Structure 1
Amino acid sequence: MRRIYILGLVISLLAPHSSLLEAQTVSDIIAKTPTYASCNYHVYPDSITTVLTPAPAGKKPFYISHYGRHGSRYISNRAGYETPYVMMQHADSLDELTTVGQQVLHEMNSIMHDTENRWGELTGTGKRQLENIGQRMVRNFPEVLCPGAHVKCVSTIVPRCIESMGSIAMKMLQECPTLHITMEASKRNQWYMNYQDRQLRRGYMTPEAKKAYDAYTKPRMGNSRLMEMIFKNPDIVKEFVDEEFFNYYLMKMALFQFNISYNRNPRLIKLFNTDEFYRMWQIDNALWYIQHGASTLNGGRQPYSQRYLLRQLIADADSCIRLDRPGAQLRFGHETVLLPLVCLIGVNGFDLSTSNLDDLEAKGWWCSDVFPMGSNLQFIFYRSSPKDQDVLFKVLLNEKEATLPLPTECAPYYHWNDFRQYCLNKLNDYK
């Protein structure tokens, strides 16, 4: 028995990142799926085909705890598109656009018209993402989401999150019409649903972090090839076109359109090649790590911004475990909550702590795996009966089984009491 336990422990702690397991590089993924390069603008997959590992003998699912990001949305505000758009308009007024540049400006005009006054709104694509997630949840765990089961949904007060909550709830009811679903969006839940620690946020870019980030990003910035393609005289337009900003924001504009039902195959992405998208991903991935990961460049404390949410998740689970039929608790929020929560818990090795930004890619700290539009973290709880004291659970990151930094003899399942104590110890040590 001890040999089996040790084998399970080794598998649990050393199990590689899912993408690494498939021996894919980030560049490989971007070549097949360009939106991966856009990090938090990445699009949730239309279908999930991962096979879930059967539960240990006698254990059945009885409770689901969840935190998910809203589905695909329009860009949050006009400023995200304004940067390259104004530069292009200025160049056009001076007759400095090539034929390709004129085509690009025409496409940008169409995009600006389509998105005007829809900033931050959930798109049709986003609604379908949540509907599909809800459908799969009911079909994957019918023992939990069964007739008469209670499902409590809580959202932040942001409209796209509320609509995401409604989309998943409506689909669940279509799958199982007798579910008892309640929905709530209130400021009184913001303290844990969308807590943004101002002190941690202000202090993330320390002098040491800025020095490392600047050194890492400098050779990856800019795109002279793009400038020559769009502008007749790149040297002249550089007086009012910042090459680095223009390249970065035009690339984001191109990729973001895949979140919008309009023009799902935008012509703008043809302006860029895989290497250019890849370099942008590296730049963004490093920044997300410094902002929300356990980087020693700023003290490794950024994931603790979600300490209140983690305590609430534990308290809710403890309460629900005492019930005969607890059902599910679904929470709907934002990527700036989900990413640090994943880092704080240590899902799939995202608790990586390093000062070397080159370590991120090599060790699988790939933020695009965590928080595409519609991303979610699900805790699925198992037991043999309401009297069973050895409650097991597994974590699904974007509906795929994930690892935790804990010993277990039954991976991907973990003992709830072990995880609970691990998290509480970690939270109690934070000052």
Structure 2
Amino acid sequence: MKLLIAPILLTPILLISTLLNYNIAYGNISGSKSSYQYDPQQKLTPTPQNYHPFYIYYIGRHGSRYISKAKPETITSQILEKAHQQNQLTPLGKNLREQLNKIIKLNQNKYGQLTDLGKDDIQHIAQRMLKQYPTIFQQKEIAIISTTSQRTIDSAEAFLKPFRAIYPNAKIIQQPENEQVLLRFFDYSPAYKKYKTSQPIKNAIQTLQEAPLTKKTVQHVIERLFNSSFINQLNNETNLKSVDQVTATEFVIALFKIYQETLSFSNEKLEQNQINLGDLFTFTEKRWLSTVITAKNYLQIGPAFDENGIQIRIAAPLLRDIILSSDNDIYHNQIDANLHFAHAETISPLATLMEIKGTNKTTDFIENYHKYWQAERIIPMAANIQLIFYRNRDNSKPILVKLLLNEREIKLPIQTNHYPYYDWSLFKKFYLTKLDNLGLTPKKNAKDWLIHLN
């Protein structure tokens, strides 16, 4: 297994210099927790003359969800309660405590479930698909597969809602828990599990958490929330009931994660409950804290320091299914669409493996990654990869395919004279060659391949 060594080689002088020149113009403030953004003004390239869309292969992430785990709430609320008991909260700290109690009530018994915004975003994607590609949906059949996670099942159901009039008998098939190699391939590779928790990954994350800009940001945030004597307690680690020790940095990161999660609620829900954690941070602080938190995505499911690393190669079974299933469905002409509902951990490695522009650039220094890889553009909530297939009236003409990432036309490393449309035979050849080089041939068992991958 190839381990990352670049983060260990950072010198303090280089790190400080880079952070002082940090460009606050990068991306969004919520990384992979960003709600789905669609620009209604964007224009798609006209379909080539005499061609029409006839089939679609879709892989989508679940929609915006409630906070997935209670740990950030636990850390933040216990720190705030401890400060409250000691009368050490500033007016802003008291307001945060009230807001956090509301957020905890909103999340109660709903951890990981779709929010109303999440369901709406998924339905809107489906509605646009029906409107933009009417010639695809001929009432034949649609194949729908989801993981066993409730939020992906609910996302599939939300997606199906606009389709029900056309496909009243459509059913969602869930892959069995022990056979989810297509959409949860990351669960089947021992080498990948080892990579995720390897020391170089931990070192890279620690590099950002201990960076001068992080320390400066943390200090500014806690000074807004607590009086000086409690700040001294935080800076010297604070003991909690359910957590052994919490540092000031861990508290601020947990608080910012909760802020990111609140962006999965609709504006109406936030206004109704008078929730606005955005005022706790300056714009620059939001950018940097998002970069610190999202680095874990870049390292574990993005290109990191090796675009052909184990964290990317594990997506090969899904790429193979795109090729083989699409070829089969095109040939038999019995299915209008093949729809899959999964997770960010599914979408990101696949996008990098396919060398989709903007998803596969590596960096030598972890603090620079956001210049090349923006989670909010690649794996926001409801992220999706769509392959739209086009047929010519003249059957002697080649089938064309266009790839969309989050409904935006994307460039692929395949030669074409009519971008963003690619000859399916060339598309197939390019990726089958790549799969062959990875050792995953069409007839090889994907589960066995993942287990022995290194």
- Under TM normalisation by the shorter chain, which class is it? 0.7 to 0.9
For 1:127 and 1:114, the matched residues in 2 are separated by: 17
Partner of 1:150: 141
Q: How far apart are 1:151 and its partner, in Å?
A: 1.5
Which residue does the alignment assign to 1:13? Answer: none
2:50 equivalent among 48, 51, 58: 58
Pick one of 225, 232, 235 that aligns with 2:232.
Answer: 235
| Residues 156, 162 of structure 1: 8 Å contact kept | yes
Supply the distance in 2 between the matched residues of 1:330 and 1:388 (Cα, whole angstroms): 28
Q: Percent identity?
A: 26
Residue of structure 1 in register with 2:337 after alignment:
328
Query: Of residues 180, 186, 191 in structure 2, which corresponds to 1:190?
Result: 180
Give the direction of change, closer, same or farther, for the CA distance of 1:208–1:373 in structure 2 (3 Å limit).
Answer: closer
Q: What does residue range 155-304 of structure 1 map to in structure 2 within 5 Å?
A: 155-174=146-165, 177=166, 181-187=170-176, 190-196=180-186, 197-204=189-196, 206-217=198-209, 218-222=211-215, 223-233=218-228, 234-239=231-236, 240=238, 242-261=247-266, 262-263=269-270, 266-296=275-305, 300-304=309-313
Look up the match of 1:338: 347
Match of 1:11 in 2: none
Does the aligned pair in 2 maintain the 1:324–1:386 contact within 8 Å? Answer: no
Q: Which residue identity is paired with 2:260?
A: L
Matched letter for residue 255 of structure 1: Q
Deviates more, 1:165-174 or 1:64-73: 165-174
Segments of structure 1 that go 5 or more residues without pairing to the other structure are 1-24, 31-35
1:116 maps to which of 87, 102, 108: 108
CA distance in 1 between partners of 2:419 and 2:38 (Å): 27
Distance of aligned partners of 1:386 and 1:284 in 2 relative to their CA distance in 1, 3 Å threshold:
farther
Give the Å deviation of 1:421: 1.9
Deviation at 1:97, TM superposition (A): 1.0
Residue 367 of structure 1: aligned partner: 375
The one-letter code matched in structure 2 to 1:412 is: P
- Please tell me whether residue 396 in structure 1 is matched to residue 404 in structure 2: yes
**Any idea what the Cα deviations from partners look like across 1:316-367, whole Å, max 9, x if unmatched?**
10101103453101100111111111111111231224433355333x3112
Which residue matches 1:417?
A: 425
- Structure-2 separation of matches of 1:237 and 1:201: 33
Q: In structure 1, how many angstroms separate the alpha carbons of the residues matched to 2:356 and 2:337?
A: 21
Which segment is superposed worse, 350-359 or 330-339? 350-359
Counterpart of 2:320 in structure 1 is 311
1:128 matched to 2:123: no
CA contact (8 A) 1:293 1:352 kept: no
- Please say if residues 362 and 369 of structure 2, whose CA atoms lie closer than 8 Å, have aligned partners that are also in contact: no
In 2, distance between residues paired with 1:168 and 1:126? 11
With over 3 angstroms needed to count, the CA separation of the structure-2 counterparts of 1:253 and 1:213, relative to structure 1, is: closer
Distance 1:288 1:37 in 2: 14
User: Offset of 1:125 from its aligned partner?
Assistant: 0.9
Partner Cα distance (2:335, 2:394) in 1 = 10
Q: What is the TM-score of this pair, normalised by structure 1? A: 0.85
How many residue pairs align between the two structures? 398
Structure 2 CA distance for aligned equivalents of residues 401 and 379 of structure 1: 10
Q: For 2:386, what is the secondary structure of its paired residue?
A: strand
Cα deviation for residue 29 of structure 1 reads: 6.5
Gap regions ≥5 residues in structure 2: 1-21, 239-245, 439-452
Q: Summarize the Cα distance change of 1:356–1:349 in structure 2 as closer, same or farther, 3 Å threshold.
A: same
Q: Aligned to 1:191, what secondary structure does the other structure show?
A: coil
Q: Deviations over 1:38-73 (max 9, x none)?
A: 211100126543211112222211110000011111
Cα distance in 2 for residues equivalent to 1:336 and 1:26 = 27
Compute the TM-score of the two structures, normalised by the length of structure 2.
0.81
Q: SS in structure 1 opposite 2:369?
A: helix
Task: Output the amino acid matched with 2:262.
Answer: Q
Checking the alignment, whether the CA contact within 8 Å between 1:98 and 1:231 is kept in structure 2 is yes
- Aligned equivalents of 2:307, 2:427: Cα separation in 1: 26
**Cα RMSD between the aligned structures?**
2.4
